Structure 1
Amino acid sequence: MRRELFLHIATSLSARYEYFQQRPDCSGRTGLSPLQKCTYAIRQLAYDGGADMFDEYLHVAETTGRECMKYFCKGVIETFGATYLRSPTPADCQGLLDLHGRVHGFPEMLGSIDCMHWQWKNCPTAWRGQYTSGYKGTHPTIILEVVADQRLWIWHAYFGVAGSNNDINVLQSSPLFNDQCRGQGPTINFVANGNHHEMGYYLADGIYPRWPVFVKTIRCPTDPKRAHFAQRQEAARKDVERAVGVLQARWAVVKGPTRLFYPDCIADLMYACIIMHNMIVEDEGAGVANWVDEDAAGSSHGVASDPVEQGVPHGEAQRLRTFVTTRQEEAHLRLQHDMIEEIWAHRTR
């Protein structure tokens, strides 16, 4: 990150928390400065070194270094989480519809969704059976559900740490779709292949169920239309892979197995890295994604707006109806067919 952004983070934490303020210790000597503590924490996150890796350079003891990283992650989440790790507003959704329509040819797409498997190296022995997902053997694994757009901005991240972890279990408890059932998500209206649809969708891989909120690739396309659609869908879905790849390249601590002991500390570490990743993306501007602003979207361009009953929770009957609607396989197949025709029509124009 740039020097100005680092100083902004350090100054904000120092102004809000006494721990990051420079104070005399019990012997009357001046303690560590906020720059020392923030530098120590960020270096641990960026290089995935031990707590004693920078003790000679920054003059911070090993125990104090671990404490710095713990309070730094909590402070970043509490200070910047509401801005840089939030659900998209209707205005944000409208921008996503415009962006994906110009860049990928999917004018109704909200983003790409995927799960990131993170090995838990120091998982307590008594908990190992609860955090095993079958991914990369039998190692305990924590799964993070990520939604990202083409600008590498990570809009949503949810830790699934209860029970046996896999993509489907995380999806069933995902707040992203629970909010939609409660009527707290934005309303998306668009037309594809001449048919009207009222739910935004995400690009997903084959493990996700056949819900109308997901558009998946076609594994073995048998005609040019389906082959072209599969190619475009797989190319666009790389956004979430790129976002996670950049996140791991910036913060080496989330690239390898985590050595922490407690799920809360692991979650704070991951969320802090995602927040700072989004801060860097915003600070560097649109050039970080290296995409070209092309012509506006076509006639099937979608519109995002506030829920009809904004701030009013759905009743039981309405919530049940929304729950069933978001899981209809027939609606998924209709949307899949409409998107195949829409993408093919744009190609042949």
Structure 2
Amino acid sequence: MLEAVASYYNWIWHAFFGVAGSNNDLNVLNASNLFNSMLNEETEDIPFTVNGVKYKREYYLADGIYPWWASFVKAFSNANDEKRKYFSKKQAAARKDVERTYFTGALAYITTTSKDNGFALTENDWVYEPVHNMQTTWIERCETYRRRTKELRDREVHEGLRSDLVEHVWANRETSESETESD
């Protein structure tokens, strides 16, 4: 089981192979250092604005098995209007574009490189440097972890982000189509 984050341009940002025998997306997710790093403030927040609303952290395209976390954007399983149908189609296409990364030989490269230097996913030597302040107390770190867990698993933020992305994708669709029609 592989958890991976890749850009549209096939740049692999994160790869995590699940523990042997787990073979379950949710078990891999819970063991992944991607979200643990976020919860422990070892990574920077990546704020962005969509549809006029500012969001605190990056998001990931996910399929239906993933939970309703603030960082996951899932397609609509039963889209009931044109906007949601269009969004679901675009979201699935983007996910497939990212998945194709692993059918172009990149997976073999990742595996080989990981074995060569122990932890890097590319030829670059990555250095792990936690962002959090080592002077914080255990209680402060536990409180931060609890607060960030609540933020990460906020279904309202998930729904708001997905709605804002639907509007953004739909608005860009209309702009693109109207420009094409006027040409």
Closer/same/farther in 2, CA of residues 276 and 171 from structure 1, 3 Å limit: closer
> Is 1:183 matched with 2:41?
yes
| Secondary structure at 2:5 match in 1 | strand
Paired with 1:334 and 1:151, the residues of 2 have a C-alpha distance of: 27
Q: Name structure 2 gaps, 5 residues minimum.
A: 125-129, 135-139, 176-183
Amino acid at match of 1:333: E
Question: Larger deviation: 167-176 or 213-222?
Answer: 213-222
User: 1:36 matched to which residue of 2?
Assistant: none
Task: Deviation per CA, 1:300-321: give whole Å up to 9, x if none.
Answer: xxxxxxxxx9342662111110
Q: Do residues 271 (structure 1) and 97 (structure 2) align?
A: no
User: Retained in 2: the 8 A contact 1:148–1:239?
Assistant: no
Alignment of 1:65-104 (within 5 A): none
* C-alpha contact 2:114 2:121 (8 A) present in aligned 1: no
| TM-score, reference length from structure 2 | 0.77
1:310 maps to a residue whose letter is V
Distance of aligned partners of 1:277 and 1:270 in 2 relative to their CA distance in 1, 3 Å threshold: closer
Superposed CA offset, 1:172-195 (max 9, x none):
111000000011112111222222
Deviation of 1:278 after TM superposition, in Å, equals 4.9
Runs of 4+ in 1 over 6 A off after TM superposition: none
C-alpha contact (below 8 Å) 1:183/1:312 kept by paired residues? no
* Rg comparison, structure with higher value: 1
Structure 1 segment 243-262 matched on structure 2, within 5 A: 243-247=101-105, 251=108
- The yes-or-no answer on 1:237 pairing with 2:80 is no
Normalised by the size of structure 1, how large is the TM-score?
0.42
2:154 to 328, 335, 343: 328
Rounded Cα–Cα distance in structure 2 between residues aligned with 1:233 and 1:223: 15
> Residue type of the partner of 2:131?
Q
Q: How far 1:162 sits from its partner (Å)?
A: 5.0
Change (3 A) 1:276 1:164: closer
- Gapped runs of 5+ residues in structure 1? 1-142, 255-266, 283-308
